[in-house]
Amino acid sequence: MRDEVVALWLTSSGFGIATELPRVARFHISWLRAYIDWQRTPKANWTTAITLAGLNPPLPNARFSAIACKVVEPNNTYVISLILLARAREISSQKLLPYHMHDSFPKPQVNLHFLAQNIDDGKKRPAETDLNGALTDLQPVRSQITRALVARAMSFADAPLRSDHVELARQCVLDWVGVALSGSQDPLVGLLIDQAIEDGGQHVATLVGRGKRVSVRQAALINGAIGHAIDYDDVNVAAQVHVTAAVLPATLAVAEARGLSGDAVLRAFVAGYEMVGMVGQYLGRDHYERGFHGTATVGSFGAACAAACLMQLNASTTSIALGIAGTQAGGVKAQFGTMCKPLHAGKAAENGVTGAQLAARGFTGRADLLEATQGFADATSQLPAIDAASAIPQQDSYLNHNLFKYHAACYGTHASIEAIRELCRQHRLAADDIDRIELDVESGAQNMCDIREPRTGLEAKFSLRLNAALAVTGADTSSPAVYSDAMVQRADLVALRDRVRVQFMPGEWPRMLVQVRIHTYDGRQFTGHHDSGLPESDLARQRHRLGSKFFALAVPVVGADRATSIFRAIAELEQLPDIGVLMSMLR
């Protein structure tokens, strides 16, 4: 068996092959794209396990190592240097098309041919010597990843928030409160409350919509499940998480028990939100596609960060809090359509509170659990990406990319609902006119919202086909009551559902884009599309729309007068001296 060493350098104007690896050492390193972890190298087969960051797709069916960095030559020409080391039998003369670089670089659409220098087994590995010697400066200390993420997240809690962040955070609170008040009537809530009463504990934190107070951890757990019970809460596509559902319940529980202000709540919430975004980017899409529910896993880190900020833990202790929360984190997508999916959000909130509470008492744990060997990333993601986690998102925060729901179903179904409704409106189509509907959706939807024949209203929320049928019939999908067990048995909806065809698109298909083709019995075809992955740019318009959603959900539970008081309190949340004022309205 022989290893194959490949040195490839790319410039903005073309590609070249570098046969002398030390050449890279002559460049001034200005920006790091990936990292080396020699400790993870199985020395028996000389395969170096290195995260390949910023390249999409990775080498198919290959185990590889890679270093990619942005370097500057004396004439200030940007060069992207890439070094690959892979098993010869796995990557011999590979051709890749296309090879996409990070968004900040050109995206060449060309074939890349790999030239190899063969090295016999048992011989000294000049490649490893060269890499260790010439590229020492390219190796950041992995134990600093969590520390860096904590520092950035805590910066949001330590200073006054930007005005748009205050507005967006208030909107997240308003949306979650409305959804939680409606979700508080779900049967799963009673089961969780019965268990909490049996367990006992101090009554210091409010259960939304239930007129009870429980312990901080119990409130985080139950309110987390309440806020996700009807699957109508906001999402962040970049993080692949229902962020508010995981972070806000922990924030409110800790703040209420400590008598903290509305401003402290908003700043801690934003810090936790940013932590979720960074950790979600670090673990990458592979984490979600492996079956992990990011709301449960990634959400635990955000909840811990928010709780730690409220408890004024320092950066080192906060890193340990994240490690304690992360070691408890779990939750898999096989539970979608059951009570366990909302439980995931509750567990994330509870994990975060537990992590912060124990860390504050001196409980020990890894401060680098995210990046440690056999740590969270090692265990749950094939390609964790440091550069993605450390990159500053557009508009400087992940919060600016929050997406609110206006249909009470899985967010993956929203684009198809919108596109089908628009086509039916434009062309005056009814169910009796339609022969079939074809949906082109991103491949990830197959493991998220592709329940073909839902048996319950809860399962219906995760069915592209049934939601397409609801869109045609004009059903009010903004009402959680629509998703009932009786609805899924309706003969007209079942017949229309079975005329929906779903095609999962490969490659770089945008995450929340759906293309729809409606075929009629008289031979006509109508095509439309909708992208539900674009955040609203007009925050005032979004506030108005969320207000309508809030009152529709809250009034049936607490009445119009109380709903109005809650709405006004949230509109001035940063001015509340004690968050308990709001929480008392939510009991």
Cis amide leading into 57 (omega within 30): yes
**Does the pLDDT value for residue 93 go beyond 80?**
no
The pLDDT value given to residue 553: 97
Multiple choice CATH, 411-531, 3.30.1330.120, 3.40.50.300, 3.40.47.10, 3.40.630.30 = 3.30.1330.120
Instruction: Give the N- to C-terminal CA distance of the chain in Å, as an integer.
Output: 68
What residues are paired with 442 via a beta bridge? 505
- In tens, the pLDDT along 28-38 reads 222 222 222 32
Residue 296 pLDDT greater than 90, yes or no: yes
Which letter does DSSP use for residue 138 in this model?
Answer: G
Please tell me which residue, 410 or 94, carries the higher pLDDT value. Answer: 410
Q: What per-residue confidence (pLDDT) applies to 285?
A: 87
The whole-angstrom separation of Cα 440 and Cα 436 is 13
Higher pLDDT residue, 551 or 77? 551
Amino acid in the structure at residue 333: K
pLDDT tier for residue 508 given thresholds of 50, 70 and 90? confident
Q: Tokens standing for 72?
A: 């500057």
Reply yes or no on whether the pLDDT at 70 is more than 80.
Answer: no
Report the pLDDT value the prediction gives residue 121, as an integer from 0 to 100.
Answer: 30
pLDDT of residue 253: 98
pLDDT (mean) for 391-397: 88
Tell me, what's the pLDDT at 406? 95
Average per-residue pLDDT in the chain?
Answer: 79
Q: What is the pLDDT of residues 265-292, one digit of tens each?
A: 999 999 999 999 999 999 998 999 899 9
What would the pLDDT profile of 149-203 be if each residue is shown by its tens digit?
A: 999 999 999 999 999 999 999 999 999 999 999 999 999 999 999 999 999 999 9
Phi then psi for 66, rounded to 5 degrees?
Answer: -155, 145
Residue 439, SS3? Answer: strand
Identify the bridge partners of residue 29 per DSSP, sorted by sequence position.
Answer: 71
Domain ranges of the chain: 3-140, 145-404+556-585, 411-531
User: Percent of the chain at pLDDT above 70?
Assistant: 76
- As given in the structure block, the two tokens for residue 283 are 């673990």
Predicted confidence at residue 524, as pLDDT, reads 96
pLDDT for residue 307: 98
What number is the average pLDDT over the span 221-248? 96
Which residue, 214, 236, 237, 238, is CA-closest to 226?
214
Tokens of 560: 């119009």
Percentages (nearest 5) of helix, strand, coil residues in the chain: 50, 15, 35
- Average pLDDT in the 196-225 region? 96
436-475 pLDDT tens trace: 999 999 988 888 899 999 999 989 999 999 999 999 999 9
Q: Is 488's pLDDT higher than 70?
A: yes
pTM, 2 dp: 0.74
Q: How does strand 500-505 pair with strand 434-442?
A: parallel
- Ranking 92-101, 205-214, 375-384 by mean pLDDT, the lowest is 92-101
Per-residue pLDDT tens over the stretch 308-346 = 999 999 999 999 999 999 999 999 999 998 999 999 999
pLDDT of residue 388: 84
pLDDT for 389 equals 87
Residue/partner pairs of 189-194 with CB below 8 Å, 24 or more apart: 189/222, 189/225, 189/226, 189/229, 191/339, 192/221, 192/222, 192/225, 192/346, 193/222
Whole-angstrom CA distances from 483 to 461, 463, 470, 486 are 7, 11, 10, 8
Question: What pLDDT, on the 0 to 100 scale, is given for residue 395?
Answer: 85
Please give the pLDDT value at position 541. Answer: 95
Output the pLDDT for position 297. Answer: 98
From CA 510, how far away is CA 441, in angstroms rounded?
9
Q: pLDDT tens across 116-150, in order? A: 222 223 333 223 323 333 223 323 334 578 999 99
Cα 73 from Cα 285, distance rounded (Å): 34
Q: Note the CATH architecture for domain 145-404+556-585.
A: Orthogonal Bundle (1.10)
